[in-house]
Structure 1
Amino acid sequence: MNKDINILNIFTNKINLLDLNRTEIEHFIESLGYKEFVAKQIMRWIYKYYCSDFKEMLNLNKKLRRQLEETACIFAPKFTREKISCDGTIKWITSLDNNHNIETVYIPDKNRSTLCISSQIGCVLNCHFCATGKINFKRNLKVSEIIAQIWQANKTLKSRNINTSITNVVFMGMGEPLFNLKNVVSALKIILDIYAFNLSKRRITISTSGIVPALNKLVNMVDVNLAISLHASNDVTRNIIMPINTKYNIASLLSSVSQYLKKSNANHGGVTIEYVMLHGINDSRQNAEELARLLKRLPSKINLIPWNTFQGAHFLCSTDNHINIFANVLRKNGFTTIIRKNRGQDINAACGQLTGDNTKNINFNNKI
């Protein structure tokens, strides 16, 4: 069993402050008899100095430090394994309870450092082109388990004297974020908070396969960038490769996205449409023209994603020629279209390849 999980058992009856956003920490501090400004002091220690020991928070009085030790903890599950790609991408694996793992991917670039984080252990959606959908869903991540991925990434970079911190966070790792709406929104409030990670709303992206009721709630809860995993230009194809479409079809999804954009300040350039390129399935010129018609009234930019293979998959990636033709059709129709450069393929860290580094629970019975 992971040593950190044994340590966590000591804290079973304590409040993990990484599970609380600022408002919740303020309420907790007030319950101990202190004013809310103390919560900001504690958050600075946690998120600016990566301090997890109340004894080291020297600007807090001794009585409060003792109270905090008795009632609270700061527990961030550690990265237990690391894989480094030839392109500089790093994949970190975190071991949680019951031998369950999640994966976090760090993608360094010239002017930015993007962290791709997970929100669930496994995924219930079973998108047929995605390895995560082939492993058994276990549970939603806690707020602290979401936040810990950023906390540990920044802490790791700092320990290696890498003079950068995470500049962008994308919820594109394991799981469907909108199926863990409450915890994801609470985590987002921490990521945005000036006393925590202090990231701009335009530097945070939630990617969803289209959970319409949750998306309708999200618009009134938090404002961040939105990415839609569309991957098909019509319901017939999407029903086959993404079973969630039989419940929330393309029309209902795009209608919900339109409502989100009306209220959003983060999505000035429109929503990002993610479209995986699958040979002979969704990559024809006709598909591109159909997609252009589908999105003509929706402010959007389109990311074309060359499909990444995984063990037991039954797809082929579209050829470079097909992808370029597809992109040119969209560009001629006025869409900003980017062909995504896949990162971390050699360590199974690219889009659609995350499995918690554990393939024994993969179900390959669902074929199309």
Structure 2
Amino acid sequence: MKNILDFNLEELSAWMLENNESKFRAKQIFQWIYKSSVFNYENMKNISEKTRGNISKELSLYLPNIIKEQKSEKDGTKKLLLKLEDGNIIESVIMQYKYGYSICVSTQVGCRMGCSFCASAIGGMVRNLTPGEIIGQILVAQNNINDRISNVVLMGSGEPLDNFDNVIKFIEILNSKESLYIGARHITMSTCGIVPKIYELADLEYQITLAISLHSPKDDSRADMMPIARKYTIKEIIDSCEYYYNKTKRRISFEYALIKGVNDSKEDALSLSKLLNKFPSHVNLISVNEIKENTYKKSDSLSIEMFKNTLIQNGIETTIRRKMGEDIDGACGQLRRNHMENFS
């Protein structure tokens, strides 16, 4: 049975007509789901019992189930472990800022990219998430906090550009006035750098923020951390980012996880500065998440400050990412990984 959350408004309107229902019913259902947070057809009282019955026989309204929740005592960050209809497990992270709530959503069950510093990649990729499974994470989160999510980051488990069609449809539903109506400039998509898909995304001219997981200015050391670097060189990634900027006029963000003795030298910072001078960019420095599956260690505070200052002195806007949920399994993939180990 198809999940109604996988439909955009146009598709649901067409389905209504094909099943001898009035087209406007689609907009009513969207209002119930996305504006009123009603996830049971029986409670959609302005729709006749007969119509509700016809729809429920053909279209499920399924949301992921929260099977575990962690909340940080330091900053209130919440991590949700979610069970999908087929039993697969994903996770989402809700972060509270002064401007409101932000959510980091997963786009795949697992990940095939194999980045050595990321717990999501351990065990590989199981399958892509549907648009409804991605947007379902937001609906569940809003119910959990009893408040509106205002910003969405596609930076959870999975590589968004490896699930391109479903992710694009998710963004279109998310951005729709009839749905959650979260503006494109409040959406960030993180990618390890699938170059052809960056060009394809650029041609759509969405006003979302593109965040590139770079983590090294050198192809050889990047390839040690990220297998995708063996397919696409840093030059190819930078060229695609320049194309993206020229198409969208949106500043590119670069994620850089600092690893002690691996990519945190002044030489690395100078090399990175030279790479990023072709278009407006921003570097987000991150302390690498230490996981038991590798030996990576966080850079010390002096190295991090040196790296930041070197980039700024060379004209690159740079910030050090505030660590959220440090006292819980806050890093991408850790909660799911621990759950899978406990039940294996």
- Shorter-chain TM range is over 0.9
SS of residue matched to 1:215: helix
Counterpart check, 1:291 vs 2:272? yes
The answer (yes or no) to whether the contact 2:65–2:84 under 8 Å persists in 1 is no
- The corresponding residue for 1:149 is 137
Q: Which sections of structure 1, spanning at least 5 residues, go unmatched?
A: 1-13, 159-163, 362-368
Q: Which amino acid aligns with 2:62?
A: F
Q: Which sections of structure 2, spanning at least 5 residues, go unmatched?
A: none
| Cα-to-partner distance string for 1:51-99 (whole Å, 9 max, x where unaligned) | 1222322222444223212222211121111011122111000123665
- The corresponding residue for 2:237 is 253
- The corresponding residue for 2:110 is 122
Counterpart check, 1:349 vs 2:336? no
- Looking at structure 2, the residues matched to 193 and 351 of structure 1 have their Cα atoms a distance apart, in angstroms, of 28
Decide which of 153, 156, 159 is 1:173's aligned counterpart. 156
Q: Which amino acid aligns with 1:66?
A: G
| 1:36-115 correspondence to structure 2 within 5 Å | 36-86=23-73, 87-96=75-84, 99-115=87-103
SS of residue matched to 1:308: coil
The answer (yes or no) to whether the contact 1:119–1:174 under 8 Å persists in 2 is yes
- Looking at structure 1, the residues matched to 301 and 122 of structure 2 have their Cα atoms a distance apart, in angstroms, of 27
- Looking at structure 1, the residues matched to 271 and 337 of structure 2 have their Cα atoms a distance apart, in angstroms, of 36
| 1:1-368 correspondence to structure 2 within 5 Å | 14-86=1-73, 87-96=75-84, 99-158=87-146, 164-221=147-204, 223=206, 224-264=208-248, 267=250, 270-351=251-332, 353=334, 355-358=336-339, 360=341
What is the number of equivalent residue pairs in this alignment? 340
- Looking at structure 2, the residues matched to 182 and 312 of structure 1 have their Cα atoms a distance apart, in angstroms, of 32
- The corresponding residue for 1:11 is none
Q: Which amino acid aligns with 2:166?
A: N
Q: Which amino acid aligns with 2:217?
A: S
- Looking at structure 1, the residues matched to 122 and 279 of structure 2 have their Cα atoms a distance apart, in angstroms, of 31
Distance 1:212 1:283, change over 3 A: same
The answer (yes or no) to whether the contact 1:308–1:353 under 8 Å persists in 2 is no
Q: Which amino acid aligns with 2:324?
A: R
SS of residue matched to 1:197: coil
TM-score by length of 1: 0.88
Root-mean-square deviation (CA, aligned residues, Å) is: 1.8
| Cα-to-partner distance string for 1:93-135 (whole Å, 9 max, x where unaligned) | 0123665311100111122211000011111111111111223
Q: Which amino acid aligns with 2:243?
A: Q
- The corresponding residue for 1:5 is none
Q: Which amino acid aligns with 1:258?
A: E
| Cα-to-partner distance string for 1:135-184 (whole Å, 9 max, x where unaligned) | 332111122211110010011112xxxxx311111011001011111111
- Looking at structure 1, the residues matched to 202 and 157 of structure 2 have their Cα atoms a distance apart, in angstroms, of 22
Deviation at 1:338, TM superposition (A): 0.5
The answer (yes or no) to whether the contact 2:88–2:109 under 8 Å persists in 1 is yes
SS of residue matched to 2:98: coil
| Cα-to-partner distance string for 1:162-209 (whole Å, 9 max, x where unaligned) | xx3111110110010111111111111111111111101011111000
Deviation at 1:347, TM superposition (A): 1.2
Deviates more, 1:282-291 or 1:25-34: 25-34
SS of residue matched to 1:102: strand
Q: Which amino acid aligns with 1:275?
A: Y
Deviation at 1:359, TM superposition (A): 5.3
- Looking at structure 2, the residues matched to 355 and 322 of structure 1 have their Cα atoms a distance apart, in angstroms, of 31
- Looking at structure 2, the residues matched to 208 and 278 of structure 1 have their Cα atoms a distance apart, in angstroms, of 19
- The corresponding residue for 1:366 is none
Deviates more, 1:38-47 or 1:216-225: 216-225
Distance 1:46 1:222, change over 3 A: farther
